[in-house]
Structure 1
Amino acid sequence: MTTNNNVSSVGLFQRFYDIPLVAQILIGIILGSVIAIVSPQTATSVGLLGALFVGALKAVAPILVFVLVAASIASHSATQKTHIKPIIGMYVFATFASALTAVMFSFAMPTTLILVDAAQGSNPPQGIVEVLNTLLFKVVDNPINALSTGNYIGILAWAIGLGLALKSSSDSTKAVFNDVADGVSSIVKFVIRLAPFGIFGLVASTIAATGFSALLGYSQLLLVLLSAMVFVALVVNPALVFYKTRQNPYPLVFQCLRESGITAFFTRSSAANIPVNMDLCRRLDLDEDTYSVSIPLGATINMSGAAITITVLTLAAVHTLGIEVDFATAVLLSVVAAVSACGASGVAGGSLLLIPLACSLFGIADEVAMQVVAVGFIIGVIQDSAETALNSSTDVVFTTACCRADAK
């Protein structure tokens, strides 16, 4: 009887494992929503699964990025071709184009705010010089501190430096680094397979704790934000991919939204979603020398969703105060939003503290700007999730487009 039970359990596990990961995640979303509605107390308890999943991703992502980038550069030979430059170009242009898109939607649907108490415990940057200064100091951060705090700019800098230093090392040393990278990748694959359980806990606890009542008062603001993000995801990005590949971009765009965007939506962290994107790039059969650098780099500088958030909330404050904005100022705001977005941290709500910087263009006091930040935290349940889904899925879209274009 015991043997039969064991065989039955193994068969059940295998059937579950054979279900596509996206389908498993959708099942987790549905079950989490049901439990949140039926038993909020139970939903709060199962939120531990979500916290553990996000914690595991955040724990493994810095190590993965470091060893993959270092191993990739160390093993790279002069005859191998990577596609980093065009990918960076697409990252930068798409972030600026997203800010312009946000300006367009903000003027088409002007939004005013009922300002609430200012956000507590926030420390926004005071100017663009401070943002750039912070970025520079992140580059020279202590490597141990960079790994422990998830400073991906510092991690990339040390990984690139170590990889270049090891290019002249022996083949056996390079093999050790490649083996370590493979070992960490195996751990990542295991963590990714736990995504349905983690997202089940995240959905259940989030809906049980916040519901949607707090969001109803800001429905128009959310509409502007989400409309701009959807337009970028389904119009701007596909147009850039078509320009690059001269192929129908939508199969790739939809696959990336489905397999990267869904997990990013619930983890709300571009950094935590790096392992998911790495795995997707591997399954898309992309050049590992390219995506091992472009994906973590994208989590740092490819911030279309953040640029939209900064622009829309800033212009909402502008409309609330009755400030006139001409075209030149709107373009300048787009530039500032794009540059600022590159300095947003890869964690939940990272773009919101950059809003006061953009507000300063219009002479808006910090006290008012911080109230706008507080509004951002109120709608963050949806805003930050959608922002991260756009940011993270686009990393794979542009990496794939450049790899395929150069492969022709």
Structure 2
Amino acid sequence: MSKFSTLVQNYTDKNLVLRIVIGVIVGATVGFLAQKGYMLSLVGLFGTLGKLFVGALKAAAPILVFILIASSILTNNFNNAKGIRKVIMLYLIGTFLAAVVGVIASFMFPTILVLDVSNEVTRAAPKTVVEVLENLLFNIVDNPISALANANYIGILAWGTGFGIALRFCTNETKNLFVDLADAITMIVRFIIQLAPFGIMGLVATSVYSTGGQALMGYGRLLLVLVGAMVFLALIVNPIIAFIFLKKNPYPLVFTCLKESGLTAFFTRSSAANIPVNLNLCRKLKLDEELYPISIPLGATINMGGAAVVISILTLAAAHTLGITPTFGTALLLSLVAAVSACGASGVAGGSLMLIPLASSLFNISNDIAMQVVAIGFIIGVIQDSVETGINSSTDVLFTAIASESREIDSL
């Protein structure tokens, strides 16, 4: 093995979170030193790395959204077990309510980010929900090639959903093709994310050089809002859902799911990797054996409450930064779009972040600005992604338990 290959392997073997933390520290240090007149040329170099990282995200995001959503709809089987419809209903209700929690948190604690808007073309923000819906309809019927080329994420979402539904009864070879395409684009995005520490280092360095500590303070506030909203979702909203269906104190079940599923998912940061843990917990809870072998893998794909919170809050942070004040109607529509988008966010590290441009398009926020917000998401993702995954994965077991136990109650 060559020295270069050994170097690359040593780099990729290191924990990504640790590498991102180091990137943030190095970038902040260089930014502060540059403010004092040192390392000015290094800030320029780091800035280029940040722009390359954002550019790579912009290039990959449109095709990623299309392939993942089409593949998810095409390959998932939704009718193989009794009670699966109730689980799917719970997944969708939970994800939508999570998006609503994110929207409410954003209105209660609006966050302003430090973004580069020097090249931003002034756009009129939608004034009413009717105007938003009109734009939505025209974006939906956009040419699919044009939608991909111009990052029209509403059109991409519509065409991806349409392809998935239209091909539900296609041959296995075609389904395998979409699975392979999803794996391929996922691999490309994972490669880009492996370079995230360098891109984040550059973004932090230029932000700190330009604004001092203001940028880092904005990141901290945003992180507090995100984590606070997800904790509220886990400890208030989900228990209310459980109580409505089970008619008993939900907290023993909620805390069991958080302790035995959420804790491991917090550290693995992967809903897919946590599937064996969740299956074992379902066996331990003596849930319906016809139900959980299907509902748990399905939940790792479409039950994305934490992702819906992230999409809502980061989208509205971008809107607040640009001086856009959403109406109640547009905020409700954002909740719906965030929930639908979150269902396609699985399979990729930082998948929820990659769908922020789709939600941002509701407010005429350009792809350039949206991708800067995605990059900020990676900066705070050291904590945000862990909490998000813990919420997502533990809720898979919680909703499966609700569906299983409520079926027993209904049969009495």
TM-score range, shorter chain: 0.5 to 0.7
One-letter identity of the residue aligned with 1:87: V
**Using a 3 Å threshold, how does the CA distance of structure 1 residues 288 and 219 change in structure 2: closer, same or farther?**
same
After superposition, give the CA deviation of every residue in 1:241-261 in whole Å (9 maximum; x if it has no partner): 000001111111111111111
- Residue 143 (1) aligns with residue 169 (2): no
Whole-angstrom CA distance in 2 between matches of 1:352 and 1:399: 26
Measured after TM superposition, the shift of residue 149 of structure 1 is 5.9
- Aligned partner of residue 271 in structure 1, secondary structure: coil
Whole-angstrom CA distance in 2 between matches of 1:219 and 1:87: 35
Report if the CA contact (8 A) 2:111-2:218 is conserved. no
Whole-angstrom CA distance in 2 between matches of 1:308 and 1:82: 30
One-letter identity of the residue aligned with 1:289: E
Whole-angstrom CA distance in 1 between matches of 2:182 and 2:363: 34
Aligned residue number for residue 128 of structure 1: 154
Measured after TM superposition, the shift of residue 266 of structure 1 is 1.6
**Using a 3 Å threshold, how does the CA distance of structure 1 residues 353 and 148 change in structure 2: closer, same or farther?**
closer
Measured after TM superposition, the shift of residue 90 of structure 1 is 0.9
After superposition, give the CA deviation of every residue in 1:11-49 in whole Å (9 maximum; x if it has no partner): xxxxxxxxxxxxxxxxxxxxxxxxxxxxxxxxx989959
- Residue 338 (1) aligns with residue 339 (2): yes
Aligned residue number for residue 222 of structure 1: 223
Aligned residue number for residue 112 of structure 2: 112
Measured after TM superposition, the shift of residue 347 of structure 1 is 2.7
Aligned residue number for residue 296 of structure 2: 295
Report if the CA contact (8 A) 2:116-2:369 is conserved. no
Whole-angstrom CA distance in 1 between matches of 2:242 and 2:384: 25
One-letter identity of the residue aligned with 2:101: T
**Using a 3 Å threshold, how does the CA distance of structure 1 residues 319 and 291 change in structure 2: closer, same or farther?**
same
Q: How does 1:304-323 map to 2 (within 5 A)?
A: 304-323=305-324
Q: How does 1:5-404 map to 2 (within 5 A)?
A: 48=13, 82-115=82-115, 126-135=152-161, 136-137=163-164, 141-143=174-176, 146=179, 217-404=218-405
Whole-angstrom CA distance in 2 between matches of 1:124 and 1:258: 44
**Using a 3 Å threshold, how does the CA distance of structure 1 residues 360 and 250 change in structure 2: closer, same or farther?**
same
TM-score normalized by structure 1? 0.62
After superposition, give the CA deviation of every residue in 1:299-320 in whole Å (9 maximum; x if it has no partner): 1111111111000000001110
Whole-angstrom CA distance in 2 between matches of 1:381 and 1:401: 31
**Using a 3 Å threshold, how does the CA distance of structure 1 residues 397 and 311 change in structure 2: closer, same or farther?**
same
One-letter identity of the residue aligned with 2:152: Q
Measured after TM superposition, the shift of residue 263 of structure 1 is 1.4
One-letter identity of the residue aligned with 2:82: T
Aligned residue number for residue 158 of structure 1: none
Report if the CA contact (8 A) 1:117-1:371 is conserved. no
After superposition, give the CA deviation of every residue in 1:111-156 in whole Å (9 maximum; x if it has no partner): 00012699xxx999632342243354496654387389669xxxxx
One-letter identity of the residue aligned with 1:244: F
After superposition, give the CA deviation of every residue in 1:329-380 in whole Å (9 maximum; x if it has no partner): 1101101111111111333200111111111111111111111111111111
TM-score normalized by structure 2? 0.61
Whole-angstrom CA distance in 2 between matches of 1:91 and 1:392: 11
Report if the CA contact (8 A) 1:226-1:386 is conserved. yes
Report if the CA contact (8 A) 1:84-1:294 is conserved. yes
Report if the CA contact (8 A) 1:112-1:320 is conserved. yes
**Using a 3 Å threshold, how does the CA distance of structure 1 residues 368 and 404 change in structure 2: closer, same or farther?**
same
Whole-angstrom CA distance in 1 between matches of 2:309 and 2:273: 21
One-letter identity of the residue aligned with 1:83: G
After superposition, give the CA deviation of every residue in 1:252-300 in whole Å (9 maximum; x if it has no partner): 1111111111111122121221121111111111112101111111111
Task: Note the residue ranges of structure 2 that are not aligned, 5 or more in a row.
Answer: 1-8, 17-75, 119-147, 185-196, 205-212
One-letter identity of the residue aligned with 1:393: S
One-letter identity of the residue aligned with 1:377: F
- What root-mean-square deviation, in Å, do the aligned CA atoms of Structure 1 and Structure 2 show? 3.3
